[in-house]
Structure 1
């Protein structure tokens, strides 16, 4: 495993941040030519999570562990959960037929839905947290996904009945009551994902502490 400030760790995180910036600049450049609405672009969970990756890992690069707040490691764990599940859910639910096994994908899409999630997962696996995580608090990481669900359902009717994902569109399920099952399913998926990511973080931290004792 790598230490937080090792050259390989810094190199990996720099690569992720650069790729994230390239993908989002590419998106914004296309939007500037009229290929979509800016407000709708920033309504996607994918965009939120990829921007969070840039912020959190950029922070990790620029600020040494001793100067980070105590909640930085939980924030990193939550970010890892969001971006990894973004990649998994996109490829299972939203990708075009055959896209999951193809690299001939629009570059920003490839970066934000596949390459960056994979690299962030590797970052979590090989670079242990600086401080110990509390497995009993993994559920706090669900606050943002649940808040996003509420935001999306409130925003939809206000912007012409538009929803960023079909599984959050009440029109696809016969009204809001029909969304209960997919929403509960998403909450369960994120809860399981957060628990697994947190458990891996706890195990990695313990292994490092055991190896140094």
Structure 2
């Protein structure tokens, strides 16, 4: 049983890698055709999307998780359970935010590779949720660990909002760059007020999802 889950994790990691590489190649080609000169900055922007960073985290967790399933029996190490819970939270949020707020909106990576988009925003979030619920090895997480799950989203929001006004967007011809429209005070209806509203709303959602992930961890595993 553990081997079957391990193989599933390897397949999921492979799909995530293919989706990120596929979108990056598509974006590189689009940038070349549209005379983007600062390619290193464009690549940095590409890896500044919460979606990309979360999926990179999911790939790492799936690869480590497969190794754990193949090489040991019994409960996972506590550090891995917390890492897995954190990334599962981020991927669930990625799926929720994209499908509620961003589906159908062109994002500033240049152009969207549809099959990659669906893997990164739908398939991997669902896989991470199912993996958290069903894959053996999960151990209970104490409630006082919840704040650790919130560290990465907080750091990412600070990074995004501090960096945004000073990062030019060659494709749009602006002096600023934000990965998502709801974080862009220059185009939001009420500027920073609108941005603050979405940040608070998403922060609350992350907290609720993280609490749900911890709650699941404290239930008896379906598979030992």
TM-score range with shorter-chain normalisation?
0.7 to 0.9
* Stretches of 4+ aligned residues off by more than 3 angstroms: 63-70, 128-131
- SS at structure 2 position matched to 1:143: helix
- CA–CA separation in structure 2 for the residues paired with 1:137 and 1:178: 30
Q: How many residue pairs are counted as aligned between the two chains?
A: 197
- SS at structure 2 position matched to 1:170: coil
Aligned to 2:219: 203
Aligned to 2:122: 114
Aligned to 2:184: 169
Query: How much has 1:201 moved relative to structure 2?
Result: 1.4
Aligned counterpart in structure 2 of residue 91 of structure 1, from 84, 99, 102 = 99
Aligned to 1:57: 62
Q: What is the TM-score when the length of structure 2 is the normalising length?
A: 0.80
Matches within 5 A, 1:118-197: 118-159=126-167, 160-171=175-186, 172-197=188-213
Q: What is the TM-score when the length of structure 1 is the normalising length?
A: 0.83
Aligned to 2:83: 75
Aligned to 1:18: 14
- CA–CA separation in structure 1 for the residues paired with 2:137 and 2:5: 12
Q: Does the CA-based 8 Å contact 2:138-2:217 persist in structure 1?
A: no
Q: Does the CA-based 8 Å contact 1:129-1:201 persist in structure 2?
A: no
Matches within 5 A, 1:28-39: 28-35=24-31, 37-39=42-44
| Pair 119,108 (structure 1): closer, same or farther in 2 beyond 3 Å | same
- CA–CA separation in structure 2 for the residues paired with 1:196 and 1:143: 17
More displaced, 127-136 or 81-90?
A: 127-136
- CA–CA separation in structure 2 for the residues paired with 1:127 and 1:22: 23
- CA–CA separation in structure 2 for the residues paired with 1:181 and 1:130: 35
Higher normalized helix content (fraction of residues):
1
Q: Does the CA-based 8 Å contact 1:135-1:202 persist in structure 2?
A: no
- CA–CA separation in structure 1 for the residues paired with 2:58 and 2:197: 29
- SS at structure 2 position matched to 1:119: helix
Query: How much has 1:132 moved relative to structure 2?
Result: 2.7
CA RMSD in angstroms, aligned pairs only:
2.3
Aligned to 2:39: none
- CA–CA separation in structure 2 for the residues paired with 1:167 and 1:136: 31
- SS at structure 1 position matched to 2:219: helix
